[in-house]
A and B are shown apart, each in its own frame.
Chain A
Amino acid sequence: MATSSVLAAPSPTGARAFLKRLRSGDEVARLITLAFATSILLVTVGLLYELWIGSALARQRFGFGFLTSSAWDPVSERFGALPFIYGTVVTSAVALIIAVPLGLGAAIFLAELAPPRVSSTFTFFIELLAAVPSVIYGLLAIFTLVPLMRTVVEPFLSRTLGFLPIFKGAFYGVGYLTGGVILAIMTLPFIISISREALLEVPTEQREAALALGATRWESTWQVVVPYARLGIFGSIFLALARALGETMAVTMVIGNDPSIRASLFAPGYTIAAIIANEFTEATGEIYLDALVGLGLVLFLLTIVINAVARLLIIATTRRGSTNP
């Protein structure tokens, strides 16, 4: 009795067999969909390649000094990325400082306290916020936020906290602070919805254990539930950060367009995305253009790193499930 050991999905090798499989239609389908999927790979590689090539002149001329130089002078063709990196980082930091407590608070309310109907209605509206285009936020910011900052918020901060270097100096309504505030509003929905899901995944037994020991509602939430969900919450923060870094239109409209580095949050500044948006079509000369593309490359790498960290954190939460942190 002959015994044959065959792979459960028999695929005899050879060109003839390949053509035979081709006729069955399955192989054709696989190849077609594979081709489309490969396009994603090609685009990503192409993107990196074009950014690298497109910034060649600037990289050759300035080397790593590009990242540390704060000059930005198209006339004498001296370009440095530092003011824009600074502006990007500062506005994102301000955004997180405002959005994280607010967002986490809202997420706690929605996950722990609100009755299910209220929670899902609120979440529905908050997720709609995430769908509002950036340029609309910018439009509103110019005509509502900027005057508000100029006439109410910044004078108030100047009067009360003006001794701090970050609140010193003249205020115009546009600048790092305003940019940070609009970014905070835009990243709020992400922090809320992802943190809320992380909190909902915490098993009820955890809460109950704390309450059974005599903890108050707040204590059980803040000292047990939130720490349990901290990976997912951090993930949401990093995701929000990634969004803030790459955010273009709204910030461009309120940042003040000043390529300098200032300590005061009231001062106008610039972000990487903003200067590309404003000057790309005006750039004269190869070096100028390459410097802008170089900025694009910096932004690309920055957001990749932050996104990767965010995803790792979020995957770690879902995989961990109920195991001990």
Chain B
Amino acid sequence: MTLRNRWRKTLSYMMLSLTGVCAVLAVAVLFLILGYLFYNGWRSLDWDFLTKLPKPPGERGGGMANAIVGSLQIIFLATLIGLPVGFMAGVYLSEFGGKTFAFLIRYMADLLNGVPSIVIGIFAWTVVVVPLHHFSALAGGLALSLILIPVTARSTEQFLNSVPQTLREGALALGASKWRTIATVVVPAAYRGIATGMILGVARIAGETAPLLFTSLNNQFWSTGFDQPTASLPVMVFTHAIAPYDDWHRQAWAAGLVLLLGVLVANIAARLILSRGISVQR
């Protein structure tokens, strides 16, 4: 083998090994994140955290029960608005859409998907907070729903599109009307994918912080209604992480752990549902 060829071969081995290193590094980052978060968060997580209200800085103890409940309140609102609207829009795009209008809606949905969530927050602020003159869980829920709607619409559309046309024709040929075919044949055929898309969407908005910063703001206490400022886990993580108190840092780790666990469990569950679904059907 000539010297040049030997060099080419060596280069090949080197570069390809390097790519392996890159891949390992990328995955290692995930495990480092998880590991560090678990380590610090687990030490800080206790029963108090899950059940008590925050204490003023300087006092030890206390928890973030209000943030956990607050997050659930806000997410509940967001899914109440976002999932049905997104789902229906997805049905329109897949089953009823004409060429130009559907294209426009699709384009707008993709546009919205790419808008930074803080800009969505500004919009929710102008539309809800300003007229009502105070921050509220409602505003936060609306902001998150605006992120959820285009995501749900596109994923619903994608899974409905993947249902073979012959299934629709089979139902129509039996005398079913179009809406009936959609409701009783097409949607059930695609439900696994649609559900997965919804779970992933909710998991995504559960971790969003920026839009909540000036919509639902924060709250040291329980919020008494949807029209009150409400604590949420992501915002708590933020405020406690940048504060100068050690005890608050401890709480931030715990909150971060709870948040991450929720998001990861939802993600893994969704992917399992989807993969099992594909192997069951033809």
Contact = CB atoms under 8 A, between A and B. Distances in A.
Q: Do chains A and B touch in the complex (CB under 8 A)?
A: yes
Interface of A: 24-26, 28-30, 32-34, 36-41, 43-44, 46-47, 50-51, 54, 101-106, 108-110, 112-114, 122, 124-126, 128-129, 131-140, 142-144, 185, 188-189, 192, 216-219, 221-222, 242, 245-249, 253, 273, 276-277, 280-281, 293, 296, 299-300, 303-304, 307, 311
B153 A126 contact: no
A185 B25 CA distance: 11
Contacts of A104: 22
Given A133-B207, A136-B207, A33 B88 contact: yes
A280 B26 contact: no
B103 to A, nearest CB: 12
B101 to A, nearest CB: 8
Interface size, B (range): 35 or more
A40 B89 contact: yes
A248 B16 contact: no
B214 A26 contact: no
5 contacts: A33-B91, A44-B112, A46-B123, A47-B123, A113-B20
B72 to A, nearest CB: 16
Given A28-B179, A136-B33, A143-B241, 13 more contacts: A25-B180, A33-B91, A46-B127, A103-B22, A113-B19, A125-B30, A132-B33, A132-B260, A135-B207, A245-B116, A253-B241, A281-B213, A299-B119
A176 B120 CA distance: 25
Contacts of B29: 129, 185, 188
Interface stretch (B61-69, B190-198, B248-256): B248-256
A47 B146 CA distance: 10
B271 A124 contact: yes
A142 B105 CA distance: 40
Contacts of A33: 88-89, 91-92, 95-96
B115 A126 contact: no
Select the residue from B102, B217, B234 with max chain A CB neighbours within 10 A: B234
A242 B127 contact: no
Given A125-B27, A136-B37, A136-B260, A247 B11 contact: no
Contact of A135 (B9, B22, B237): B237
Interface stretch (B52-60, B161-169, B219-227, B261-269): B261-269
B116 A273 contact: yes
Nearest to A55: B122
Interface string B23-51: 10111011101001100100000000000
A300 B182 contact: no
Interface in B151-185: 153, 177-180, 182
B231 interface: no
A40 B150 contact: yes
Contacts of A281: 213-214, 217
